[in-house]
A and B are shown apart, each in its own frame.
Chain A
Amino acid sequence: MIGVLKAEIYKILRQSKTLYALAAIFIIEGFVLLSAYYQGTEIIDLLLANLKDSFEFKGNLLNGNLIIYMILNSLWFHIPLILMIVVSGFLTSEYKDRTVEAVLLQPVNKITFIGSKYIVSIIFTVLVVILLAITTFLISYMIFGKGDLVVYLDGLNFYPSNEAFWRLCCAFMVGTVSMLFFSVVSLTFAVFFKDATKTWIVSAIFLVCTNLLLKIDFNNSFWNSFFYSKLIDSWQYYFYYEIPYQTIYLNIAVLIFYCLIISGIGVIVFKRRDL
């Protein structure tokens, strides 16, 4: 297993698509930073429009913490999309190049092979989010400095700089679990569809549908609490003034459970399927 894992990690490091994924993340960061630099004041004005007539504001709200929060919001769509494309490519490219057969002609168990794909996907996803977080914090603080964070979520919430920092860190950590879910799902799609284009299309549709389903109220507390689409925004809960820790922990546990189930399905299907 360790040998197969090392081989998978080597493959990822050698693949150009890994670099493309990292480049895409930096490009997204760059766009957010640029738009914040040029339009940040307008965003804040929009947030505080109703209060400007009655209140005078002293201090700078266009700071690193707000920029980090803006980049963190790429966890809704941009980052999962990139992850789903790249992670599904870990397997679809092997189908395309027919290297799956070459590998399985060796004394490598099917479960070990696909299991190592899932493990490497998880490692890759975690590293991507860590890299995103580190670069975001460094660049944002370097360019925009520190300051209070303002978030419009169930009212206007203001957080002092230190508090904003740990809320953002926690949000990145919880967001990693959501990203893991998308990665695992895309790899399972790759198991089912084999073809890269089909997998990407299905993954993109899945992502769009997830975002749409997130907004839908099922009028049922069970579905509203445990349906997968209702769990992927748990990182956002760190920006409520009173953090619902129990809900966050429960959501993380359920989402990890879903990841295990989905990867289990992928492993079973891959094992049973003829190459």
Chain B
Amino acid sequence: MSAKYFILFVQLIALVNVGAQEVDPDLIHVRNRLDSIKSFKADIMMDVDISFINMPTKYGKVSYTRGNGTKITSNDFIMLPKRGLDLTMEDIFKYPYITVQRGVQEIGGIRCKVLNIIPTSEKADFSIATLFFR
């Protein structure tokens, strides 16, 4: 009998813990902000970081329209990875995910809160995303 109560107790503790996991407020803020963006255009700088390729910094423009994804244009010759650039910020929150706090990290002299987003669905196009919050 005591073993049965012990298992029930463990399950209850687990349930309480699951219920206690809250979405980070900063993440909610970011998500809401991203949801509000319909389109954007930006000037971009591209560097290739592959050991056997030497290419100077390239410049171009990136444009995003919700539903159409991102497009990159440039007057220069550019190399774009076939996978990865098609991932938009809204895709990060498209499928269920869990978040993992990674503490604080200093980037460029600015202390940032680091958060990992790990999708729990196999449909997601990424395995882990790291977000930095100022």
Contact = CB atoms under 8 A, between A and B. Distances in A.
A60 B76 CA distance: 9
Contact of A156 (B52, B72, B80): B52
A61 B80 contact: no
Contacts of A220: none
B76 A54 contact: no
Contacts of B78: 57-59
Interface in B14-68: 51-56
Interface residues of A, number: 21
A89 interface: no
Contact of B54 (A53, A57, A60, A241): A241
Nearest to A56: B80
Contacts of A57: 77-80
Contacts of B77: 57-61, 147-148, 150, 158
Contacts of A158: 53-56, 77
A107 interface: no
B82 interface: yes
Interface of A: 51, 53-61, 147-148, 150, 155-160, 163, 241
B54 A51 contact: no
B101 interface: no
A51 B56 contact: no
Nearest to A48: B79
Contacts of B53: 51, 155-156, 158
B74 interface: yes
A51 B76 contact: no
Nearest to A241: B54
Nearest to B84: A54
Contact of A160 (B54, B56, B80): B56
